[in-house]
Amino acid sequence: MTTTPAAPARSGSAREALEHPAYRWLLAGGTITNLGNAIAPVALAFAVLDLGGSATELGGVIALYALADVVTVLYGGVLGDRLSRRLMMVGTARLAALSQILVAVAMIAGWASIPLLAAFGVVNGCLGALGNPSSQAMTRLTIPPHCLASAVALRRTAQNAALIVGFAAAGLLVAAVGPGWAIAIDGLSFAAASICFAQMKVPEVPVERTESMLSDLRAGLREVLSRTWLWALIAQALVYHLFYGGAQGVLGPIVVEDTLGRAAWGWAMAMLMAGFVVGGLLTLRWRPRHPLAIGTWLLALTAAFPFAIAVSDQLWVVLLGAFLHGFGLEIFSVGWDLSIQQQIPEDKLARVYAFDQVGSFVARPLGLALTGPLAQLTGLRTWLLVVTAVIVASVVVAALLPDVRRLERA
């Protein structure tokens, strides 16, 4: 008896994903938000420096933002699996718009202070943490399953393209009109994004309600710990952000400004985002059998950015390092996001994203706070070389794990 072989599963294109209105609104809202968010960190860094802040104070302000994000994100994950994800996204975007506009007014009016910036940073960190798990888990609700790979890659590529424009404009805006107006643009971007998110029509996720949020958190943690590739790469990200967060958020602006000027740091961030876009465009067409393994190896390219800042005062070298960083990180991120979307049950998806975020970034506030003092002891460029070595070593360890190497595209 002869049989007809089964046809391979159809893989939808980016154009097909764009045929779905809910996905288009999600894509538009996320892209607009990223445009403003690219400007905000550059403006914040130079606002602190303009107020007389040191590297240690700048690290402290960023660390408080990161700490608020980490402390709140688990609640965001539980709420994203319990409540309407659309409601979570709309509400947090509107509150973030209000918060950023208040910061902008304070900076433009001249009564801002470093403690005030730190306080609003905590507020914005909490709001971002409450909304992000719902936003990340939303993609799968807006398109059919066969379009998921293209939808993930396209969403990341569009948002990274917005980051390029934002980072490129950030340095010029700060140099021309000051950081206050730059923060105002971020606030307006949140307002516009909330309008887009409100237009999404998606099905509600049926979930089994438990008696407490703690029970929901335990269920999400069990889901993470049941997959070696998942918890191992979260642990790798913990080490990565412990060292790299301060390299980009604290030392990068200081070293590059001293040698190349403020606008150069904005261009470096733009080139980093250009690497993201090129990597994202590649993933729209390239569908490797083991996307997570390949992406993990390419994650080693992220060491090129701190290395370039440490060893060179030539703009083109710094820009090349930034581009390679973005390119490698984006290919990993698409493989990582797709693996989570394909492997995790729908009713636990927001919680898994929350544990991914908190596990990855839990050590970042400590790293940000310690970067200034440690770099002053060793020298700024020497500490950047230490960061480079840690990134490469952590990637090699993660990439050699059997579960990482064997995980296949669904």
In tens, the pLDDT along 24-65 reads 999 999 888 888 777 777 777 777 777 777 767 777 777 777
DSSP secondary-structure letter at 11?
-
Question: Residues 354-377: pLDDT tens digits?
Answer: 888 878 777 777 777 788 788 888
Confidence of residue 400 (pLDDT cuts 50, 70, 90): very high
The pLDDT of residue 327: 94
| Cα within 13 Å of Cα(354), Cβ side | 29
Name the strand (E) or helix (H) holding 172: helix 148-177
Confidence of residue 192 (pLDDT cuts 50, 70, 90): very high
C-alpha to C-alpha distance for 160 and 270, rounded to whole angstroms: 10
Q: Angle 148-177/21-50 helices, nearest 10 degrees?
A: 30
- CB 326 within 8 Å of CB 271: yes
Question: Residues 133-162: pLDDT tens digits?
Answer: 888 888 888 888 888 888 888 888 888 778
Residue 5 has pLDDT above 50, yes or no: no
- CB 109 within 8 Å of CB 52: no
- For domain 16-203+212-406, which architecture applies? Up-down Bundle (1.20)
Instruction: Return the percentage of the chain with pLDDT > 90, whole number.
Output: 18
Q: Give the distance between the most distant pair of CA atoms in the chain.
A: 84
- CB 193 within 8 Å of CB 32: yes
The pLDDT of residue 205: 66
pTM flag (> 0.85): no
Confidence of residue 208 (pLDDT cuts 50, 70, 90): low
Q: In the structure encoding, which two tokens stand for residue 9, read together?
A: 């599963």
Question: Residues 65-114: pLDDT tens digits?
Answer: 777 777 788 888 888 888 888 888 899 899 989 988 888 888 888 887 88
